[in-house]
Amino acid sequence: MKKIKWMSSLMLASAIAIPMAVQADGSKTGFEFAERTYGFETIDEGMVASSKLYSYDSGLVFDYPDAVRGIYVTGHSAGGSAFERLLKLIDSTDLNAMVIDIKDDFGYLTYKPQEDSPLFKMGIGQPYIKDPRKMLETLEEKKVYPIARVVVFKDSVLAEKQPELSFMEGDKVWKNGRGESFVNPFMKEVWDHNVEIAIEAAKMGFKEIQFDYVRFPEGFEKRHETLKYSMGEYADSDLDPIQRRVEAVTDFVAYAREQLKPYDVDVSVDIFGYSATLPEAPGIGQNFSKISENVDVISSMIYPSHWTSYFGISKPDLEPYRLVAEYAKVENAKLGALENPPVSRPWLQDFSAPWLGRGNYLHYGVEEVEAQIKALKENGIDEFLLWNARNKYTEGVDYTP
């Protein structure tokens, strides 16, 4: 397959350059989304050269901490009364960062774009965060490092609006067991939709864009021959189905990072922890090393509750220190083999998992959270993020043991 040529266009405050796919017969394609058309255009070489000189200034100043120690914050929490509670938690501890939902797990924006925003007419904005700029100014004042979470390929909203960008089962958009739909990582139109959201977050003042769900649906290898979907420019690839998926996911990450360069933001990706233990995750298209080569930060999700019997640990949720320590050794070896490894900043568990059943889980409190942090630190990993879906974090934790 001929590699896709990425275009670095002159990205001004009011617009971004949107690349476009060309079919085998030379025709151009685009997609309509709430009166907005995406398409590929030829970019002048002079414009490409000038784009490298362009750097957007949001007007906000955030210094990178000694080591990022952050918490996950939903759009509802960021825009509601919980925000003050979470600020107080950070103020009173060694925590120093927030990962805030900008595009959520359904595909909605957690704020209402301004009328002059390219995203305004898409109709995907929600009023959770009433004034994102004011929120970021507060974080600047409090010296809290802001990271924008953008959920990429899990996107029920876009899948329903544009089924041709998703996976079809018969004449309906395919849904997983939780009723969620994914959009197609092979489609460049999907890439550009998410890159545009990321650019708007960067223009707001976020210092890092964290892409989540950068993958095909779980178990895709069991249905890739029965679902109907386009492979876009990857249709002519000589690679096997696994490598084709890996290439698409890796290409998106590299492309997004290139498009975000003028905005002076770091790019991070959330990835399944088990991806570091395999050559690649066969169904979902995640290759730990290839993704790591194209990001500034890699954030493996290594919640003990999410592992089955692994590293010789029969019940991982009962042994948070050991599980994280064993994982860290594997990750260190993988990153150590790279010429320019990214910063490692894993996601840790600050929640309990009663769904595992009696005798298979612990109530996670101070001891369990500190055990995970200690395991990372003893293996040379100083950065971490804490996940709790309800944003209820354990009090009294020593975050720098």
Per-residue pLDDT tens for 385-397?
A: 999 999 999 999 9
Q: Is residue 307 part of a domain?
A: no
Determine, yes or no, domain membership for 375.
no
Contact predicate 285/184, CB 8 Å: no
Residue 269 in any domain: the answer is yes
**CA-based radius of gyration for the chain:** 21
Asked whether residue 199 is assigned to any structural domain, the reply reads yes
- Domain membership of residue 26 (yes or no) is no
Whether 31 shows a pLDDT value over 60: the answer reads no
Domain count, the chain: 1
CATH of the domain at 115: 3.20.20.80
| pLDDT for position 273 | 95
User: Does any domain span residue 278?
Assistant: yes
Which residues are registered as beta bridge partners of 70? 97, 385
Q: What is the mean pLDDT of the chain?
A: 89
Domain carrying residue 107: 55-301
State the DSSP string of 175-236. Answer: --TTS--BB-TT-HHHHHHHHHHHHHHHHHT-SEEEEE--SPPTTGGGTTTTSB---GGGGG
* 170-224 pLDDT, tens digit each: 999 999 999 999 999 999 999 999 999 999 999 999 999 999 999 999 999 999 9
Residue 67 lies in a domain: yes
Q: Is residue 3 assigned to a domain?
A: no
* End-to-end Cα spacing for the chain: 50
pLDDT at 94 over 90: yes
Q: What is the pLDDT of residue 54?
A: 67
pTM over 0.85: yes
